[in-house]
Amino acid sequence: MAEVQVLASDGSVKKIDRDSKEGLQALRQTTALLLAAALHQQFDGIRLGADVASDDGFYVDSDKDDVQVSADELGQLEDGIKKFAKDDAKIERVEVPLADALAEVKNDPYQSELLKTAADNDKVALFKVGDFATVATEDVLCYVDVVKNFKVLSVAGAYWQGKSSNPMLQRIYGTVFYKKDALEDDLKARQEARERDHRVIGNDLDLFFVDPKVGAGLPYWMPKGATIRRVIERYIIDKEVANGYKHVYTPILMNLDVYKTSGHWQHYREDMFPPMDMGDGEQLELRPMNCPSHIQIYKHHIRSYRELPLRIAELGMMHRYEKSGALSGLQRVREMTLNDGHTFVAPSQILDEFKSILQLMIEVYHDFDINDYSFRLSYRDPKNTDKYFDDDEMWNNAQTMLKQAMDDMGLDYYEAEGEAAFYGPKLDVQTKTALGNDETLSTIQLDFMLPKQFDLHYIGEDGQEHRPIMIHRGLVSTMERFTAYLTEMYKGAFPTWLSPEQVKIIPVREDLHADYAEDLRKELAAAGIRVSVDHRNEKMGYKIREAQTQKVPYTLVVGDNEVKDSGVTVRKYGEEKQVSKSKQDFLDEILGDLSSYSRE
RNA sequence: GCCGACUUAGCUCAGUUGGCAGAGCAUCUGUUUUGUAAACAGGAGGUCGAAGGUUCGAAUCCUUUAGUCGGCACCA
């Protein structure tokens, strides 16, 4: 076990395993410090923000008004880091009076702020390397000669202290490891991440496109993408109907007054498209959420306690005016169709209904083979409560209830303040995109507010009116985001049941085998399989290659041998091996795939 | 929305100090009838994102604008 000495901000020194998480973090923090030192040395008068070790590397912020670092200057910064990382170089901790430290950085508001935050009793601890010193915060390595295998990757923008009301700084990102091959693996993984990006695959496989001339964030689903979506839609509707959901269709346009009643207009307006003024005083609004629509369904009849839980669901199209910089392929769009559902329950039913929704979600994830996710309990921000519906008791009860349900079910989760919807706390299922960004896939939200706003009630056993509670839930997210997620997860090689083209038949000779190929296609199509014959005037190798690059699960070659045996020769995606079998055996195989959602 | 970079044929990309807009793949036409990852030949295809400006002359320089990408902020 290789050990490294780390220096903490309080001056204590200890040895830790360099391959531990802390060991890597200390290396990242150290490299960030050296990058800050290099920036300080190479760019006179640069004002430095924080130097930070992140989950996948490190970064340093700096003011860009006087010094704008360009992408082609990153190499010279690497050289600068190397100069600091000499054999005998050490990071030392010094403690100085705050006033002295502030005097040193009097033209740098960011360092001043960091110093003030870190100061204790008018003294502040600094980490020093060469003649560069900055605030001591996270652990660093005592000896910096291990900073060898690193790369300065990119320059981007970031708000000072993460607040959009603050000035924007430039942020320089990098990555670092103890071992050279670990660095190379990391760089390779970053490259591969780009190759599995759903926008790249979506283009290669012709799944969808966005045309800027028509509108940003408004995707077009090409036939193959539409097929994947249709499979998802049919799957989830069947699943939900089987689990007691009533599927409905509701308008995507509603009178704006409804959104004033719901509170969306007050809390969510900046994400909504502007209302359409119809000229006669009526204002119509493109809906940003489906909940008010399902509330109308609820209110259409007088409801009895016997009907609860009442589960209303819809693949609901909605429009949100997402900020231009947030748009990204199918992941963030302005028109989306959510696998939405709202359960109306009596207070005593909340816990059980929440658990049964979560159980259903876990089943669905299993069918799609989604395993890499975490549960997040999203609470309101206690320091900024005016963003949310105002009812402290409701919030506290609901948040407690969510936590209890998760604990009862024995599921791991983490808690996040400030992530709630404006009307209530929620359970979010967090996943990562190919590029490593966090995103919410599924969500289950408790809502005590909308039933009150819309004055919902049901008749209880006692013959009196009672207020139901709403649970908002999306199991497979929006069709857009879910398709994007699956595309990245499967790298475009969808399991047979989801694959837009399941079987490609290639006749060896068009003049001799086309009829057999066509008969085969008809038999498979009759069994519900998405199949086509490649009749083009091309060589077999060409057609095989295309079937592989298009990631078709099964390629069937038929020639004299197959005609004679009334069979097929099967080549699976990603395999070179060819297996000859009877038509029936192949049909059994692929139907087995479909019924089990299998990828094999 | 903010910071930076980018935008050339359906796709991926060249295009030098401003001087006649290019390649590969795809598409179309022929020839070829093929047994497991790219047959051969020929043709067609672009107001260089858009609008203004500088210049004898702009894909190239300047301004504005839209979009895309990487981040940040915001979120399904």
Strand-by-strand arrangement of the A414-417 sheet: A246-247, A310-319, A335-345, A469-478, A438-447, A426-432, A374-379, A414-417
Report the CATH fold assignment for A503-596: Rossmann fold (3.40.50)
The reported pLDDT for the residue numbered A524 is 97
Contact between the CB of A566 and strand B at under 7 Å: no
Contact between the CB of A483 and strand B at under 7 Å: no
Tell me whether domains A3-188 and A503-596 share a fold: no
Has the ipTM of the complex gone over 0.90? yes
| CB-count exposure of residue A450 (10 Å: 0-12, 13-18, 19+) | buried
Contact between the CB of A152 and strand B at under 7 Å: no
A342 is in an annotated binding site: yes
List helix spans (H) across A85-165: 98-104, 109-118
| DSSP SS3 for A461 | coil
Taking C1' of B5 and every protein CA, the nearest residue is: A71
Distances (CA, A) of A181 to A148, A175, A186, A278, A476: 12, 13, 8, 64, 38
The reported pLDDT for the residue numbered A598 is 66
Ranges in chain A, pLDDT < 70: 598-600
Strand-by-strand arrangement of the A465-466 sheet: A303-304, A458-459, A465-466
Contact between the CB of A210 and strand B at under 7 Å: yes
Contact between the CB of A440 and strand B at under 7 Å: yes
Backbone angles phi, psi at A529, to 5 degrees: -95, 140
Contact between the CB of A339 and strand B at under 7 Å: no
CA atoms of A58 and A81, how far apart (whole Å): 13
Structure token pair of residue A107: 């033209």
Contact between the CB of A154 and strand B at under 7 Å: yes
For domain A200-487, is the CATH number 3.30.930.10? yes
Contact between the CB of A267 and strand B at under 7 Å: no
User: In the 447-476 stretch of chain A, whose C-beta falls under 7 Å of nucleic acid strand B?
Assistant: 474
| CB-count exposure of residue A111 (10 Å: 0-12, 13-18, 19+) | buried
User: In the 64-123 stretch of chain A, whose C-beta falls under 7 Å of nucleic acid strand B?
Assistant: 64, 68, 70-71
| Domain A3-188, CATH among 3.30.980.10, 1.10.3720.10, 2.170.16.10, 3.40.50.150 | 3.30.980.10
Taking C1' of B37 and every protein CA, the nearest residue is: A545
CA of A219 to C1' of B29 (A): 35
pLDDT tens for residues A417-426?
888 888 889 9
CA of A323 to C1' of B43 (A): 46
| Long-range contact set of residues A218-225: C-beta below 8 Å, sequence gap at least 24 | A218/A333, A218/A334, A218/A335, A219/A329, A219/A330, A219/A333, A219/A335, A219/A480, A223/A500, A224/A500, A224/A501, A225/A483, A225/A500
Contact between the CB of A537 and strand B at under 7 Å: yes
CA atoms of A11 and A68, how far apart (whole Å): 34
Contact between the CB of A335 and strand B at under 7 Å: no
The reported pLDDT for the residue numbered A267 is 86
Contact between the CB of A509 and strand B at under 7 Å: yes
Measured CA to C1', the nucleotide nearest A482 is: B76
Measured CA to C1', the nucleotide nearest A441 is: B76
Give me the residue spans of the domains in chain A.
3-188, 200-487, 503-596
Give the pairing of strands A92-97 and A458-459. unpaired
- Bases of chain B below 7 A from a protein C-beta are 1-5, 11-12, 27, 31-39, 66-76
User: In the 225-264 stretch of chain A, whose C-beta falls under 7 Å of nucleic acid strand B?
Assistant: none
